[in-house]
Structure 1
Amino acid sequence: MKNKLYLIFALCTILANSSKGQSFKNEFGFRSDNDSYLAQGSDMYYTNGLYIHFRHATNQEHLKQSLEKKIFEISAGQKIFNPRSGYSPDPDRQDRPFAGYLYAGAAMSWYSKKESVFKMAVELGTTGPNSLSQSGQELLHNTIGFYELAGWEYQIKNENSINLSAQYTKLISRSEDNTTDLSFEGYANAGTIFNAVGAGFLFRIGRINQLFNSGATNSVISNQQKTSSFMPRELFFYTRPQLNYIIYDATVQGSMFNNDSPVTFGIQPIVFEQKLGLNYSSPRFTFDFGVYLRTKEVRSRAPGHQFGAISMYYRFD
């Protein structure tokens, strides 16, 4: 796995040399989450996630003076959850429900000259068999040669959903040599699947750009750019500690309206998450690798969980 990550990073670096001094207004790419990226031999709880994104920067000449950028985004994704093992045929021994979530969404982000970011998003989706998560996990296991799955007949039932979210990021301080900075981050989710609020901090060290020109905030794309970036390319380490208050999670608790799922649990309301990562962004490419460490989320014998995330984005006109 380490050799594969080094190869991907080297390829991005080589290809990025062909886009010196250029800027692009569109971005397409994906993010993949999986606990196997940490080479721990685990396949449990939040076991897999796949997300596809397309972003477009609107014409910056038409924005009011206080705004640096406005970026529109459409996305689709799937999250897959299972107990400690995907082979859990006995519902009495399951410590988290089998569950899936499939969605399509749209979002708009506003980036101010004073380096604050405000993002609003909406997702339409479904849980249960309609999420195709059982088929997705079976395809993954059959393709890679993993073990046989058992227990999906006890998954969370079908439930169509709508979820709204808001995120806010604000620069707190930055060093004079532009090599470190600290930002506040907060969010709120409300809907029929996920309800939560959280707050934390983003700390970056390395070759960094402003929050409106950075891979950290998905804002490298531009359309009639107003303010030049500090660096032609970013390469930085980051940490994102965050405290979350979970109000409702349908992938654990089932439907909030008519819960007829065979296996459900209560949620742990206070969840701490620590993300550590490395980000490389050129005008053409972004590559990001992050490690997520989460405390206990389910009121069962299930402990906290860790997983890795790989993101790759390509920019074009």
Structure 2
Amino acid sequence: MKKLLLNIFIIFLLVNSAAIAKAQLIDNSATFRKINHNSYFRFHYDNDYFTKTDEYYTQGITLDYVHPLIKKFPLAKLLWKPYKSAPQYGVTFNLFGYTPTSILSDSILYGDRPFNANISLKTFLIQVDEVRQQQISTAFSIGIMGPYALGYQIQDNIHRWLKNPLPHGWQYQTKNDIIINYQINYEKQLVSAGNNFLLNATAEGRAGTLNNKLSGGFNFMAGRFNKRFLPVSYKKRKAEYYFYAQNRVNFIGYDASMQGGLFTRKNPYTIAAGDVNRITFQADAGIIVNFKKLYLSYTQSILTKEFRTGKYHRWGGVSVGFAL
């Protein structure tokens, strides 16, 4: 059985690499990241340092807090609940940073990615349909992009701490602008083999001032895990340890991290709309261990060119979570 699961995992990665295949950037609503508690805290950190690069999507920080009382938040009233089951409610703090291929120049690197940072607070819910073996998650984000998101200060302090070359060029980052975004994610079970293998179809839609896109793909889990399409309960669960992988095709309408915000037009430099790649592919793979109240994960991701003169990009991520 272990040999079969390993072979399936390797084949999936090879298919992704050949097809090639955003991990959105960090998508903690996916079934393979599920924590089966009504209340938990999770920290996730992305950095291309894990793949020995320092460019494009260079860093991401996500803090999740899930608790039933969050359903009383005003923004939670905007979230769609299509099923009868009780959803998980949560809030997420997101901080993402982007740079060009070099952070050593004090000049604009035309034809490269612009500097950008954005910070947001997201209210979300996750709801399952046990009968049809499917899941919906919806989210509403508000925030800001530009110098107010402190991208330069954060990267500068990290590089000083690591004794790496200090970043230059952030004076040309995209200007301050408002983030208002709505997101819907859907997953549907296709194949299940007990608690050892699961294959799902996935879809995602986003609309707002940060990005507009549609995505679709597949993900799978292989190892030992609990059933995914069940309402959250407080019953004791078995320890989980498994591989997961997913691939997605993204249809891009607008991306403010490259094109600048919708309300501020006088940016020092952005990617022209005609140079944005409207179709991209992403693949993610990793390992998750979920034991009693502790959650741990490690992820590697790869993304195809986001703009005409760009290139493929890879990054890694780690997560630590605690049920409360």
Q: TM-score range by the shorter chain?
A: 0.7 to 0.9
1:56 is the counterpart of 2:67: yes
1:28 correspondence with 2:34: no
Q: Please name the residue that 2:20 is paired with.
A: none
Q: Give 1:296's aligned residue.
A: 305
Shift of 1:51: 0.8
Alpha-carbon distance in structure 2 between the residues aligned to 1:165 and 1:24 = 23
Distance 1:49 1:237 in 2: 22
Give the Cα separation in 1 of the matches to 2:226 and 2:85.
14
* Higher mean C-alpha deviation, range 184-193 or range 88-97: 88-97
| CA deviation map 1:62-118 (0-9, x unaligned) | xx9x75541001111110000002223221456110000011110111112133111
Q: Secondary structure at the match of 2:148?
A: helix
Aligned to 1:81: 98
Distance 1:24 1:71, change over 3 A: closer
Match of 2:170 in 1: 152
Question: What is the match of residue 7 of structure 1?
Answer: none
Q: For 1:275, which of 278, 284, 287 is the aligned residue?
A: 284
Task: Count residues with an aligned counterpart.
Answer: 273
Evaluate the alpha carbon distance shift between residue 94 and residue 134 of structure 1 in structure 2; reply closer, same or farther with a 3 A threshold.
farther
The runs of at least 4 consecutive aligned structure 1 residues that moved more than 4 Å come to 66-69
Partner of 2:138: 120
C-alpha contact 2:37 2:234 (8 A) present in aligned 1: no
Do the aligned partners of residues 92 and 313 (structure 1) sit closer, same or farther apart at CA in structure 2, a change above 3 Å counting? closer
Give yes or no for contact 2:177–2:263 (8 Å, CA) kept in 1: no
Match in the other structure for 2:184? 166
Q: Equivalents in 2 of 1:92, 1:310: separation in Å? A: 31
Structure 2 residue corresponding to 1:109, chosen from 115, 118, 126: 126
User: What is the Cα deviation at residue 299 of structure 1?
Assistant: 2.7
Counterpart in 2 of 1:313?
321
- Whole-Å Cα distance in 2 between the matches of residues 25 and 257 of structure 1? 38
Supply the distance in 2 between the matched residues of 1:198 and 1:155 (Cα, whole angstroms): 27
Stretches of structure 1 that go unaligned for 5 or more consecutive residues are 1-22, 59-63, 214-218
Cα 1:224–1:150 change in 2 (3 A) is closer
1:21-80 Cα distance to aligned partner (Å, 9 max, x none): xx8531002110001113x2x10000001111101258xxxxx9x755410011111100
Q: Map of 1:1-317 to 2, 5 A cutoff?
A: 24-38=37-51, 40=52, 42-56=53-67, 67-93=84-110, 95-114=112-131, 115-175=133-193, 177-212=194-229, 222-224=232-234, 232-266=238-272, 267-300=276-309, 302-316=310-324
Distance 1:162 1:93 in 2: 28
Contact 1:233–1:283 (CA<8 Å) still a contact in 2? yes
TM-score normalised by L of structure 2: 0.79
Give the counterpart letter for 1:273 in structure 2: Q
CA contact (8 A) 2:38 2:88 kept: no
Q: Which moved more, 1:251-260 or 1:99-108?
A: 251-260
TM-score if structure 1 supplies the norm length?
A: 0.81
Q: 1:192 to 1:34 in 2, by over 3 A?
A: same
Output one character per residue of 1:252-298: Cα deviation in whole Å (capped at 9) or x when no partner. 00123442111111321101000011111123011111110100012
Partner-residue secondary structure (3-state), 1:91: coil
8 A contact 2:50–2:315 mirrored in 1: yes
Q: What is the RMSD of the two structures over their aligned residues, measured on CA atoms?
A: 2.0
Q: Distance in 2 between matches of 1:193 and 1:299?
A: 20
**In structure 2, do the counterparts of structure 1 residues 279 and 68 end up closer, same or farther at CA, with 3 Å as the change threshold?**
farther
Give yes or no for contact 1:57–1:69 (8 Å, CA) kept in 2: no
Q: What corresponds to 1:5 in structure 2?
A: none
Shift of 1:208: 2.0
Q: Distance in 2 between matches of 1:258 and 1:131?
A: 15
Task: Provide the C-alpha distance between the structure 2 equivalents of 1:255 and 1:195, rounded to a whole number of angstroms.
Answer: 12
